[in-house]
Amino acid sequence: MAQAMLNKSDAGSEKKEAVVIKKYANRRLYNTETSTYVTLDDLAQMVRKDKDFVVYDAKSGDDLTHAVLTQIIVEQESREGGQTLLPIPFLRQLIRFYDDNIGTMVPSYLQFSLENLVKEQEKFRTMFASAFSNPAAAFEAYQDQARKNMAMFEQAMSMWTSFGGVAKFQAQADRDEATARDAAQGITTPEAPKGAEIDELKAQLDAMQQRIERLARDRD
């Protein structure tokens, strides 16, 4: 649920129509917008230019976007002499999270951190520039920013947990009370429709999204 909440901001206020890429059995990728075959490098350039795309299996229609983006990252990290962004300790810890209950929190935390990095990239560029003249001060600034990001994330997640938990508990209590009351009167209570549950969750999600956006504005 928290991941869905954070993914909402990924679309932005003006959602761009994604280019459809078809992947064929021979692993060739076809750009339906330009009617040309493309490579993973071409898709990487589209990402850098903020050109959104989705990848579908040409035969089954399955969404392969996640797998293809992961493949692009693997190729970038494996490129000899190229820049790597994922240090070995990070990769080891990431692998450990796959078998850990806290692993469900990792996607939201990583996306949250990257979104804040994008918002404050100018500040970080200034930090990099000052690192040459005063490395100790720059390193302290990095640590301070990391602590702020972590504190904000923990606050957001605690807000979400308490908000969602209380809402669900209260909703269940109301349903139980209504069921007991109807049972005493000999009335059979029909099962709540799934649509109503989805609407309830959406309402909770929208309310929490607004609270986190306010939190981010107050922090800025």
The pLDDT tens digits for 74-132 are 999 998 888 888 989 989 989 999 988 888 888 888 888 888 777 777 776 676 666 65
pLDDT tens, position by position, 4-61:
444 444 444 345 789 999 999 998 999 999 999 999 999 999 999 999 999 999 999 9
Give the torsion sign (CA, 79, 83, 88, 90): negative
- Token digits for 10? 């990924």
> Which pLDDT score is estimated for 106?
85
- For the stretch 147-155, contacts whose Cβ atoms lie closer than 8 Å and that sit 24 or more positions apart, written own/partner, are 148/219, 149/112, 149/113, 149/116, 152/116, 152/215, 152/216, 152/219, 153/109, 153/112, 153/113, 155/215
Nearest to residue 123, comparing CAs of 155, 153, 146?
A: 146
Q: How far apart are CA 120 and CA 132, in angstroms?
A: 20
Residue with tokens 């970080």: 124
Pairwise CA distance, residues 180 & 63, whole Å: 45
Quote the CA–CA distance of 177 and 67 in Å, as a whole number: 47
C-alpha torsion sign, points 11, 17, 23, 24: positive
To 10 degrees, the CA torsion angle through 103, 105, 107, 112? -150
Task: Specify the pLDDT at position 11.
Answer: 43
Amino acid letter at 173? A
pLDDT band, residue 63 (cuts 50/70/90): very high
DSSP state of 14: S
Q: Name 44's Cβ contacts closer than 8 Å, sequence gap at least 6.
A: 72, 76
The pLDDT tens digits of the residues spanning 165-202 come to 444 545 555 666 666 666 666 665 555 445 566 666 66
pTM: 0.54
Closest to 72 in 3D by CA, of 91, 55, 93, 94 = 55
Which pLDDT score is estimated for 121?
74
15 φψ region: left (φ > 0), alpha (ψ -120 to 50), beta (else): beta
Q: Answer with the residue of higher pLDDT: 217 or 46.
A: 46
pLDDT at residue 6, rounded to an integer: 44
